[in-house]
């Protein structure tokens, strides 16, 4: 079928709104008419040409919309259903079998390969292959081809256009606290970075009942938003002096949990230094260099019994955790809509610029 998509053709340059051909759904696939798709940092990294998916390509992996067609073996959804799309997993490796699909043994080829698992192309332009199938969807488009496995039906009352944000950024941040670090009630939490993932972590900390939630963020508007979402303290790293000391001025014995969303080595090192004995350090931010290593000294980490946790997609088991997040939102306990600003898909370059500059926290594109 013929679709319209925001096509990335040259690393870091303007997107092109293009007419493409989308393949027909196979037996386990669904076609979704996209109502809205979040703009995530991973999309930006791909658009900059830093992922294995080669350009030209269509990115977008936080889509939501209405199912239009389903393959012959699909039973999870049917035409007319409202769904969100999330990451793809194989369903049968040891991680998937253990309800940990975020660590699927085939995560990289299934989400970043640019084709189906068998190498077949899902998108073409004038007959020429275009990189697609990004996170099993490529949702920067009017329509996306997804799989039964990576779509989740929306609960009644969920806002259709923006619910795709749950599929990556929100579940990553909230899940990091609720699942990966499993922050206990009355514990202390430091979140490094106040973007959409960091602020979702704040909401996760509130849900978990954290006693103290500190957000480290240079932009004043995001610090204010963090406080309104339940953070108890904020720190401006540009004005605070040594960051670990600023945290310990609030938490003299250190923080029980620290989550880094920045990927910045110096910020991560300060976060590690701010941990309490037996503290947990979670990291999920993509660093500027793909060969970056963890900072910090080994002996102090041993002496303090520190735990380090790499986090993907908030350890989400999508068919249980995403409905949980939806129920929390409908109950007023996960107001992720307060992070969102919408843009027409045709204004994707403006949305990217605004998000990078901090003029919005979470851009959602409307085809």
Query: Residue 222: which CATH number?
Result: 3.40.50.720
Cβ-in-10-Å burial (0-12, 13-18, 19+) of 291 comes to exposed
Q: What is the mean pLDDT of residues 21-41?
A: 97
Enumerate the H helices of the chain as residue ranges.
41-47, 94-97, 107-112, 169-175, 196-208, 220-229, 243-250, 265-273, 298-304, 318-330, 348-357
Q: Is residue 324 part of a domain?
A: no
Q: What is the mean pLDDT of residues 220-224?
A: 97
Looking at the fold, whether 231 and 116 belong to one and the same domain comes out as no
Looking at the fold, whether 122 and 178 belong to one and the same domain comes out as no
Q: What is the pLDDT of residue 282?
A: 98
Residue 154: give its domain's CATH number.
3.90.180.10
Q: What is the pLDDT of residue 293?
A: 87
> Minimal CA–CA distance to 120: which of 133, 107, 135?
133
> Minimal CA–CA distance to 23: which of 122, 120, 142, 131?
122
Length of the chain: 367
Looking at the fold, whether 72 and 118 belong to one and the same domain comes out as yes
Looking at the fold, whether 348 and 299 belong to one and the same domain comes out as no
* Helix or strand (DSSP H, E) at 317: none
Looking at the fold, whether 68 and 156 belong to one and the same domain comes out as yes
Q: Is residue 327 part of a domain?
A: no
Q: What is the pLDDT of residue 174?
A: 98
Looking at the fold, whether 80 and 204 belong to one and the same domain comes out as no
Q: Is the peptide bond before 56 cis (omega within 30 degrees of 0)?
A: yes
Q: Is residue 323 part of a domain?
A: no
Looking at the fold, whether 13 and 162 belong to one and the same domain comes out as yes
Looking at the fold, whether 20 and 155 belong to one and the same domain comes out as yes
The answer to whether residues 42 and 57 touch, using CB atoms and an 8 Å cutoff, is no
Looking at the fold, whether 92 and 229 belong to one and the same domain comes out as no
Cβ-in-10-Å burial (0-12, 13-18, 19+) of 12 comes to exposed
Within 10 Å of residue 324's Cβ, how many Cβ atoms? 18
Q: Is residue 320 part of a domain?
A: no
Looking at the fold, whether 188 and 119 belong to one and the same domain comes out as no
Q: How many domains does the chain have?
A: 2
Q: Is residue 318 part of a domain?
A: no
Within 10 Å of residue 358's Cβ, how many Cβ atoms? 15
What's the pLDDT tens digit per position in 247-297?
A: 999 999 999 999 999 999 999 999 999 999 999 999 999 887 778 888 888
Q: Is residue 321 part of a domain?
A: no
The answer to whether residues 258 and 280 touch, using CB atoms and an 8 Å cutoff, is yes
Q: What is the pLDDT of residue 204?
A: 98
What's the pLDDT tens digit per position in 322-362?
A: 999 999 999 999 999 999 999 999 999 999 999 999 999 99
Question: 3-state DSSP call for residue 103?
Answer: helix
Looking at the fold, whether 163 and 189 belong to one and the same domain comes out as no
**Mean pLDDT over all residues of the chain?**
96
The DSSP code sequence of 31-50 is EEEEEEEE--HHHHHHHTT-
What's the pLDDT tens digit per position in 197-218?
A: 999 999 999 999 999 999 999 9
| CA angle 203–208–213, rounded 5-degree value | 60
What's the pLDDT tens digit per position in 150-204?
A: 999 999 999 999 999 999 999 999 999 999 999 999 999 999 999 999 999 999 9
Looking at the fold, whether 263 and 149 belong to one and the same domain comes out as no
Q: Is residue 279 part of a domain?
A: yes
Cβ-in-10-Å burial (0-12, 13-18, 19+) of 73 comes to exposed
> Minimal CA–CA distance to 265: which of 245, 301, 300, 291?
291
Within 10 Å of residue 107's Cβ, how many Cβ atoms? 21
Look at residues 295, 311, 327 and tell me which one is the last residue of a structural domain.
Answer: 311
Question: 3-state DSSP call for residue 244?
Answer: helix
Q: Is residue 322 part of a domain?
A: no
**Residues 6 or more apart from 97 whose CB is under 8 A from it?**
none
Q: How far apart are the C-alpha atoms of 342 and 212, rounded to whole Å?
A: 32
Phi, psi of 276 (to 5 degrees): -75, 165
Q: How far apart are the C-alpha atoms of 114 and 119, rounded to whole Å?
A: 8
Q: What is the domain extent for residue 62?
A: 2-167+335-366
Radius of gyration of the chain (CA): 20
**Residues 6 or more apart from 152 whose CB is under 8 A from it?**
83, 84, 85, 86, 167, 318, 319, 322, 323
The answer to whether residues 139 and 63 touch, using CB atoms and an 8 Å cutoff, is yes
């Amino acid at each position: 079928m013929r679709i319209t998509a925001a096509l990335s053709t040259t690393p870091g340059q303007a997107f092109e709104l293009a007419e493409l051909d989308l393949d027909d759904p196979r037996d386990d696939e669904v076609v979704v008419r996209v109502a809205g798709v979040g703009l995530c940092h991973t999309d930006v990294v791909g658009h900059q040409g830093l992922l294995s998916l080669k350009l030209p390509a269509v990115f977008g992996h936080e889509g939501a919309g209405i199912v239009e067609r389903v393959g012959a073996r699909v039973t999870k959804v049917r035409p007319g259903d409202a769904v969100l799309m999330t990451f793809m997993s194989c369903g049968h490796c040891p991680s998937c079998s253990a309800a940990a699909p975020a660590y699927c043994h085939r995560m990289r080829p299934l989400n970043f390969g640019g084709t189906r698992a068998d190498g077949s192309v899902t998108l073409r332009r004038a007959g020429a292959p275009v990189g697609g199938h990004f996170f099993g969807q490529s949702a920067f488009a009017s329509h996306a081809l997804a799989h039964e496995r990576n779509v989740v039906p929306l609960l009644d009352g969920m806002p259709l256009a923006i619910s795709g944000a749950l599929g990556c950024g929100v579940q990553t941040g909230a899940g990091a606290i609720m699942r990966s670090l499993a922050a206990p009630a009355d514990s202390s939490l430091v979140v490094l970075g106040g973007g959409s993932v960091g602020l979702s972590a704040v909401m996760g900390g509130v849900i978990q009942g954290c006693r103290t939630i500190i957000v480290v963020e240079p932009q004043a508007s995001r610090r204010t938003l963090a406080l309104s979402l339940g953070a108890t303290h904020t720190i401006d790293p540009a004005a605070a002096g040594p960051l670990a000391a600023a945290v310990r001025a609030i938490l003299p014995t250190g923080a029980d949990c620290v989550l880094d969303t920045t990927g910045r080595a110096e910020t991560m090192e300060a976060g590690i230094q701010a941990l309490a004995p037996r503290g947990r350090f979670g990291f999920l931010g993509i660093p500027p260099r793909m060969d970056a290593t963890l900072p910090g000294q080994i002996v102090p980490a041993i002496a303090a019994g520190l735990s380090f946790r790499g986090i993907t997609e908030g350890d989400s088991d999508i068919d249980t955790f995403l409905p949980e997040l939806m129920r929390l939102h409908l109950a007023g306990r996960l107001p992720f809509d307060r992070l969102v600003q919408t843009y027409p898909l045709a204004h994707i370059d403006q949305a990217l610029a605004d998000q990078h500059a901090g003029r919005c926290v979470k851009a959602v594109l409307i085809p």
